[in-house]
Structure 1
């Protein structure tokens, strides 16, 4: 019988937690965690899900789609309009890799620390 576990937090390594938290806060509207600082910043969703950003010395950004520094994981976000989401994310400083395997169903971006993430039509 599987354990009854509920996902409560996701933490991303990065070189600048406050900057990465600000990027995702502007992109998602999640609330900043009041105890965020230069070493660890976070965002909280209404249902309690926490996204944390932890400073790591000598951080090495993933390379999409190159696997010399593998992505290890990525986040997916549902959006109503892919073009509108792309425009806003690029304004916020996201990168858009040339390799886009999702066609018109999803798009791959990279955050300020190089983590790939997808926006999907939802």
Structure 2
């Protein structure tokens, strides 16, 4: 028997509003609560993502591990090229190091968290 149930993945950041708006557009999540110190986004079916403002936040340094990535998110897309254009338009960055032989692509959200986009069948 489980002790609890899945609630959310929470990302540290310096700017909660910026990161919440980014993931609203990127992942189709809706803001349930947003303030200067934290946000909670949900799709209504149990998928949730939260953000919390951290004083002195240091973004992960991917692919270097000087400041480790700690976690990453995977985004399922229908078309990698179309998704990339939209992700970059929304404020994602695409690092030069792209492992995976084109099977997936790595991006950085506005707070520097790495996330992957790939076509999932």
TM-score normalised over the length of structure 2: 0.93
Residue range with higher mean Cα deviation, 107-116 or 44-53: 44-53
Aligned to 2:85: 87
C-alpha distance in 2 between matches for 1:115 and 1:52: 13
Find the residue that maps to 1:12 and give its secondary structure. Answer: strand
Q: How does 1:44-59 map to 2 (within 5 A)?
A: 44-59=42-57
Q: Which runs of 5+ in 2 are unaligned?
A: none
Q: Note the residue ranges of structure 1 that are not aligned, 5 or more in a row.
A: none
In the TM superposition, what is the alpha-carbon distance from 1:5 to its structure 2 partner?
5.3
Between the aligned partners of 1:42 and 1:95, the Cα distance in structure 2 is: 23
Question: Normalization by structure 1: what TM-score?
Answer: 0.92
Give the total of aligned pairs.
120
**Cα-to-partner distance string for 1:39-88 (whole Å, 9 max, x where unaligned):** 10121112122210100000000011000001011000111100011000
